[in-house]
Amino acid sequence: KRTGLPLPPGPKGYPIIGNVFDMPREFAWMEYDKWFKIYGDMVYFKVFGQGFLVLGSLTRTNDILEKRSTNYSDRPPMPMLRDLMGWDTNLGFLHYGPWWRRHRRAFHQHFHVGTVHKYHHIQLAEAHSLIRRLYANPENFMYHLRHAFAAMIMDVTYGIKVSEANDPYVTTAEEALHGMSQAAVQGRFLVDVLPILKYIPSWMPGAGFKRDAAEWKKLTLSMAQKPFKHVKEALREGKAVPSVAAALIEALPHEDDARRTEEEKIAQAAAAVAYVGGADTTVSAAQFFFLAMAMYPNVQRRAQAEIDSIIGSNRLPNFHDRESLPYVNALIKETMRWQPASPAGTVHVCSNDDEYNGYIIPKSTIVIGNTWTILHDPEVYPLPEEFIPERWLKDGKLDPDAQNPSVAAFGYGRRICPGRYFSDASLYAIISFVLSVYTISPPVDNRGNTVRLKAEVTSGMLSAPAPFECQIKPRSNAAEALIHGSETV
Ligand code: HEM
């Protein structure tokens, strides 16, 4: 209140505890969506003195998170994750500043829009393995999608071909990610509210969180160190295959150089974050695609008709075909919009007191861009709950004026997802292959009736479809031949 300006509007709270009872515990993005209808498109609330500002329109995210991004690109302190569980080198959690910038640069040089084409052959090969696995066990499609993305990212990042099941690198990464998602739930660990607790000895009663954190930390470190070490050794023995980690290691200063240790730390972290950033998000988007196909058969038929007319049934799609498949591209955009994997984005922090539109936004306010609301704005996307790829098309082509889901789906400002181009290509490979050879349909019950599927999602930091069943059947004999064939590109 130093400037005399008011705080933005929001639910009235109690002294000291603030809005602790209003703060949504589950499906926060839906709750915020309701608040915008009451308080307007920016809502401020406090929990134990910590201010939160939730933004509910593209105008607000553009004005605040994009145009003022120098002041809104920090992350909150996360004592449990960062100080105790070893996630302090993760680009996504780093405080904004020169150290973050160095990590971001290291990552960006291997995942920017002009370079991701180098990984297309890996993405196509893994999409092919996916359609083979779907043939063998279609009921495990959710798992197969996870495996497909893990295989893509491990090959691209480390040149490691993961095994079909129980791969040690993948198992460690998945366990580390599980620990991270547990600790990322706001309010789950008291140490995140009272950071001083991180100093209490592990043996003390009530310090169970420290013992848990120590176990999780082993996984976090192992996830980053082991595959990186593998590449270092392969390089030393002259056996390394091209990979992001190999390129990062080869660009390091000489072993005797004083800068080496620090640069190597950055290289190791930049490689590891690819799995962390991409796994849950891209996989969730691919799973939503399966759900959409099972719910919207006409959309699926139209996409398949396009593929059949452009590609025929004697080969699988490749990246050269992409421009000629506007409907498939529209379908990918609609997947990102319909059920965004990150519906409440990732929190940003305001570094210095700011004034905006007659309001004060105090330093340290946690700012949330509510992606769900932006991508479900009925003025921009009529019937937002429905899956309608046609909304992205005009005269049979992608409509350049349609508001792209990437205005919100990948976050905002300087922290916008640097893996978005890789993710988009991964989804294209998976979606175009699956549509070419399979028909996805809803399950049937014991009496042979079709089960009506609904778009039910999980809650948490990220959103994925709640477990569902569907039928996945080859479209024809020619499709079966493609599934078992060896041709990919
Ligand atoms: C559907 C797929 C994906 C979605 C929806 C998604 C979404 C996001 C979001 C919302 C953020 C936070 C942005 C912000 O703070 O405003 C983010 C950050 C990040 N993403 Fe992604 N992402 C996806 C795929 C990927 C992939 C495949 C990778 C790696 C190859 C990746 C790597 C990262 C990294 C490293 C960050 C942290 C950036 C930073 O804090 O500076 N993401 N992503």
How many percent of the chain have pLDDT more than 70? Answer: 99
Q: Which atom of ligand 1 lies at the shortest distance from residue 94's CA?
A: 40
Q: Which atom of ligand 1 lies at the shortest distance from residue 153's CA?
A: 30
Q: Is 423 in the pocket of ligand 1 (CB under 6 A)?
A: yes
Q: How far is the CA of 138 from the centre of ligand 1 (A)?
A: 29
Alpha carbon distances (Å) from 275 to 149, 156, 243, 371: 9, 10, 14, 23
Q: How far is the CA of 92 from the centre of ligand 1 (A)?
A: 8
Whether complex ipTM tops 0.90: yes
Q: Is 304 in the pocket of ligand 1 (CB under 6 A)?
A: no
What digits encode the pLDDT tens for the residues 109-160?
Answer: 999 999 999 999 999 999 999 999 999 999 999 999 999 999 999 999 999 9
Q: Which atom of ligand 1 lies at the shortest distance from residue 65's CA?
A: 16
Per-domain residue ranges for the chain? 28-484
Q: What is the mean pLDDT of residues 461-484?
A: 96
115-122 long-range CB contacts below 8 Å, 24 or more apart? Answer: 116/421, 116/422, 116/425, 117/319, 117/425, 119/152, 119/156, 119/422, 119/425, 120/318, 120/319, 120/425, 120/429, 121/488, 121/489, 122/152, 122/155, 122/156
- Say whether 323 sits in a helix, a strand or coil: helix
Q: How far is the CA of 419 from the centre of ligand 1 (A)?
A: 6
Q: How far is the CA of 277 from the centre of ligand 1 (A)?
A: 5
Q: Which atom of ligand 1 lies at the shortest distance from residue 341's CA?
A: 5
Distance in angstroms (rounded) separating the CA atoms of residues 453 and 470:
9
Nearest alpha-carbon partner for 212 in 198, 194, 196, 193? 198
Residue 386 predicted with pLDDT over 90 = yes
Q: Is 415 in the pocket of ligand 1 (CB under 6 A)?
A: yes
* Average of per-residue pLDDT values in the chain: 95
Q: Is 150 in the pocket of ligand 1 (CB under 6 A)?
A: no
Domain 28-484 has CATH 1.10.630.10: yes
Q: What is the mean pLDDT of residues 375-389?
A: 98
Q: How far is the CA of 412 from the centre of ligand 1 (A)?
A: 10
Whose CA is closest to atom 1 on ligand 1?
A: 282
Whose CA is closest to atom 24 on ligand 1?
A: 278
Distance in angstroms (rounded) separating the CA atoms of residues 420 and 254:
32
Whose CA is closest to atom 37 on ligand 1?
A: 92
Whose CA is closest to atom 14 on ligand 1?
A: 411
Helix (H) or strand (E) holding 439: strand 438-441
Which of 108, 410, 414, 426 to probe ligand 1 with, by most ligand atoms within 8 A of CB?
A: 410
Residue 375 predicted with pLDDT over 80 = yes
Confidence of residue 488 (pLDDT cuts 50, 70, 90): low
Query: How many of the other CB atoms lie within 10 Å of CB of 447?
Result: 5
Q: What is the mean pLDDT of residues 390-395?
A: 98
Q: Is 470 annotated as a binding residue?
A: no
Which residues, in sequence order, are bridge partners of residue 282? none
- Phi first, then psi, for residue 5 (nearest 5°) are -80, 150
Residue 181 predicted with pLDDT over 90 = no
Q: How far is the CA of 416 from the centre of ligand 1 (A)?
A: 7
Query: What single-letter amino acid sits at 80?
Result: M
Whose CA is closest to atom 3 on ligand 1?
A: 281
Q: Is 104 in the pocket of ligand 1 (CB under 6 A)?
A: yes
